[in-house]
Amino acid sequence: MSVNEDSPKDRRNDAIAGAAILAIAIVFGAAALREPPAHYDPLGPGTVPLAVSIALGIFGAILLIRTLLGLKVGQAAQSVISGLSLDDPEVDYKLRPGLAAFTYAATAAYVGAIALGVPFVLSTFVFLAVVGVAMARLRRPLMWWVIAAAGAGTYVIHLLFVKILMVSLP
Amino acid sequence: MTLIDAFLHLLSPGPMMIMFIGVTIGIAVGVMPGITAGMLMALTLPFTYSMAPVDAIILLISMFVGGISGGLVTATLMRIPGEPNAVMTTLDGYPLAKKGYPGRALGLGNSGSIVGGFVGWIFLVTLTRPIADIAVLLGPWENFALVLTALVLVSSLSRGSFLKGMISALLGVLVAMPGVDQTSGLVRLTFGADALTNGFQLLPVVIGLFALSQLIADTIHVEQSTDHIKASMRGVMIGLRDYVVHGWNMIRSALIGVWIGIHPGVGATVSAIVAYTVAKNVSKKPEEFGQGSEEAIVAAETANNATTGGTLIPLLALGIPGGIADAILLAALVMHNLRPGPLLATTNPEIVNTIMATHLAAHVVMFALMTAGVLLFARLMLVPRAILFPLVLVFCIVGAYSVDGQISDVWIMLIFGIVGLVMELARFPMAPFVIGFVLAPMAEGKLRSALMISDGSMLPLFTRPGSLALLAVAAICFVWPFWREWRARRAKT
C-alpha cells in the first residue's frame, strides 16, 4: 500500500469520518437487528438495512484503520459544493465563515418561527431583511435596497406560490 | 407519441412557452455565481406537482440545458464559473475576453455548446432504445445485479478515493431505508421519530445537500469582487470558417463528453477537464492554453453540453441516473407516477420522446437566447448577493415544505444542508450518495421479487449468466482501483 499523500488536515478529518461512519453503521445495524421478521416475505424489513450497515461498517473500519496506519485514503477530486476551502491562496478578499454560520442559524430560527405559528409573510420579510442586511454589511445604499427588496420579495413569493402556483405555504 | 410527434408538440404554444421559460431561467441561474442548474431543478421540482408529466419534463430538461450553458457567461466575463462545469472555460475564456474579444469568446463557447448538445442528442436517440430493448429482457436478479454494478461503478469512477465513493453510496442507501417497508408494511429504523414514518423524502434531502449547503458556502465568499469585462456583441456569431477550423475539436470533445456522460456519477465538469486536456495534448499551439486559446474554450464548452445527452442514456434506458440532475429527473418521473426503467419507452413513449425532443430543441433555443440576449444575461451577474441569497434560501424552505406540507421536511432539509457541508469538508464525493439514495428502493424491490421467485435462495444471482456477467463487471470495478494502486506502488519501488 502506498505511503499516505493526504495532508495532515485530511488525515484528521478522515479519522473522524471513519469513526463516525463506524458508529452510524453500528447504530443502524443494531436497529435493523431489532426489526421483527415479516410473514410471507423472504427478506423482512431488517435484512437489507442490516446488510448495508455491515458493509458500511467494514468500509468505515477500513477508512479508520488506513488513516491510523498512515496509509493513503485519497480525497474526492471533484467537488459538488464550490467555495468551501478557507485556505485558497488565490482568494484576494475577506472570507466570511462567521456570516455563513449566522445565515444558517438565521435560517433555522426562521423555520422555528414558522413552526411556532408566526405568520409566513411577517417571518419571511424579517428573515430576508435581517440576512440581507448582514450580507450587505450595513453598507448604504445597498442596505436600503436590501430592505426594499425584502418587502418586494416577500410580496412576490406570496403572489407566486399562493396565487399562481397554488402551493400551501407554512 | 413518436419522436416527430414530440417535436410537433413542442412547437405548440404551451410547451414552447414552458421550454422558453425553462431555458431562460436555466441560463439566468447558470449566469448567477453560486446557483447551479441542479439546485434550480431541485427547487423547481415540487412546483411541477400540478403540471402534466410531459410539461414538467419539458421544463426540467430545458432548465438543465440552459443551466449547463449559462455558466459560460460568468466564466468568460468574470473569471468565475457560474456553473462548476464551466471551470475550464475560465482558464481561457477570461483571458480572451481581456484581450478585447469578449464577444468572440462567448460566441465560440456558445457554438461549441450547441454542437456538443447536437452530438449528445444523436447518441441519446440512437443508443437509448437498443439498450432499453436489451434491458427489458433482464429478470429481477439481473436488475438487482445491475443496480449493484451501478453503485460500484459510480464509486469507482469517483475520482480521488474509491473507498470514500463506496462509503458515500452506502450511506445514501442507508438513508433511504427508514420509513414504511414497502412489502411488509412495517415501519422500520425511525428511532421513535414520527417525522420519519414516511422516510426521508428525496426533495428535502436533495435541496439540503445541494442547494442549502451551496448557499451557505457561497455566503463565505459574499465579498468576492463583481469586477467584470463588459460584454460585447461583436463576434458573438462565429462564421462557417470557424466551424471548419474547430470542427474536429468539436466532434472529439463531444464524443468525450458523451462517453463520460454515460458513466454514472462522473458528470460535465470531468468531461470538460478531459476534453480540455486532450485538446491541449493534440494542439499545435499548446502554449496558448491558459492564455486565451480558442481551442480550449471550444473543447470545454462542447464537452460539457455533450455530457447532458450522455447522462440521459442510462436514465432512460435503465432507470439509472448518470448524475445529480438526472437523479432529480428520476425523482420527477417517480413523482408523476411513472416507472423509470427499460419499460418506460414501452409504457410511456411520450415521456421518453419528449425528453429526447426537448433535449435538442432546448439546445436550439439556448443557442438563440445566448446569441441574442447575451448582454441582458450578462447583467444578471451583477445582482447583489445580499438580495439573491436570502431569496433563494426562502425558495429552499418553501420547496422542502411543499412536498408534503410538513414542517419536519424543512428540518430534514436543514439537517442535510449540514450533512452536505460535512461530506464536502471531509472530501467525500456527493454523487454516489444521491445515486445510492435514489436506487436503494429499486434494488430492494428487485431483490425481494427475485427471492420470491427463487423461494428465498440467493443462488440464482450467481448461476444466471446475465446476473453473473453484471456481478463480474461490478467485481472488476471494485478491484480495479486497488489493482491500480498496487501497480503504482510497484512502479515506484
Encode pLDDT of B470-486 as tens digits: 899 888 888 887 787 78
pLDDT band at B355 (very low <50, low <70, confident <90, very high): very high
- Higher-confidence residue of B439 and A127: namely A127
pLDDT tens track for A106-142: 999 999 999 999 999 999 999 999 999 999 876 777 7
Q: Of A29-33, B66-70, B157-161, where does the model show the most confidence?
A: A29-33
Alpha helices by DSSP H, B429-464: 431-453, 460-463
The whole-number pLDDT of residue B331 equals 83
CB pair distance less than 8 Å for A56 and B214: no
Q: B421 contacts in A (CB within 8 Å)?
A: 81, 84
pTM for this structure?
0.82
Q: Kindly state the cell numbers that stand for A2.
A: 502506498
pLDDT tens track for B54-83: 999 999 999 999 988 888 888 888 777 767
- Higher-confidence residue of A83 and B80: namely B80
From CA B105, how far away is CA B97, in angstroms rounded? 6
Q: Return the number of other C-beta atoms located less than 10 Å from residue B256's C-beta.
A: 27
Cα–Cα distances (Å) from B152 to B47, B169, B435, B444, B446, in that order, read 33, 8, 11, 16, 17
A 32-51: CB under 8 A from B: 32, 35-36, 38, 41-46, 48-49
CB pair distance less than 8 Å for B160 and A77: yes
The whole-number pLDDT of residue B54 equals 92
Q: Of B52-66, B231-245, B373-387, where does the model show the most confidence?
A: B52-66
Q: A133 contacts in B (CB within 8 Å)?
A: 386
For residue B313, pLDDT beyond 70: yes
B 435-454: CB under 8 A from A: 444, 447-448, 451-452
Of A81, A99, A169, which is closest to B213 when you measure between CB atoms?
A81
Which residue(s) pair with A71 in the sheet?
Answer: A3
CB pair distance less than 8 Å for B217 and A73: no
The whole-number pLDDT of residue B172 equals 93
Q: Contact at 8 Å (CB) between B155 and B435?
A: no
The whole-number pLDDT of residue A52 equals 95
Of A95, A145, A166, which is closest to B221 when you measure between CB atoms?
A95
Q: What is the rounded average pLDDT for all residues in chain B?
A: 87
Residues in chain B: 493
From CA A97, how far away is CA B228, in angstroms rounded? 25
CB pair distance less than 8 Å for A13 and B225: no
From CA B344, how far away is CA B339, in angstroms rounded? 6
How many Cα atoms sit within 13 Å of A11 on the Cβ side?
14
pLDDT band at A1 (very low <50, low <70, confident <90, very high): very low
**Concatenated DSSP letters for B249-305?**
HHHHHHHHHHHHHHSTTT-HHHHHHHHHHHHHHH-S-GGGTTTT-HHHHHHHHHHHH
**Concatenated DSSP letters for A26-41?**
HHHHHHHHTSPP-TT-
What residue segments make up the domains of chain A, in order of their start? 8-68, 97-164
Please report how the helices B294-318 and B53-77 are oriented relative to each other, as an axis angle in degrees rounded to 10: 160
CA distance B352 to chain A (A): 26
The whole-number pLDDT of residue A89 equals 64
CB pair distance less than 8 Å for A131 and B389: yes
The whole-number pLDDT of residue B479 equals 84
What residue segments make up the domains of chain B, in order of their start? 3-492
pLDDT band at A84 (very low <50, low <70, confident <90, very high): low
The whole-number pLDDT of residue B34 equals 66
Q: How far is CA B235 from the centre of its chain?
A: 30
Reported ipTM: the value is: 0.89
pLDDT tens track for B18-63: 999 999 999 998 888 767 788 888 888 887 878 899 999 999 999 9
Region B120-131: mean pLDDT is 94
Q: Return the number of other C-beta atoms located less than 10 Å from residue B456's C-beta.
A: 10
The whole-number pLDDT of residue A119 equals 93
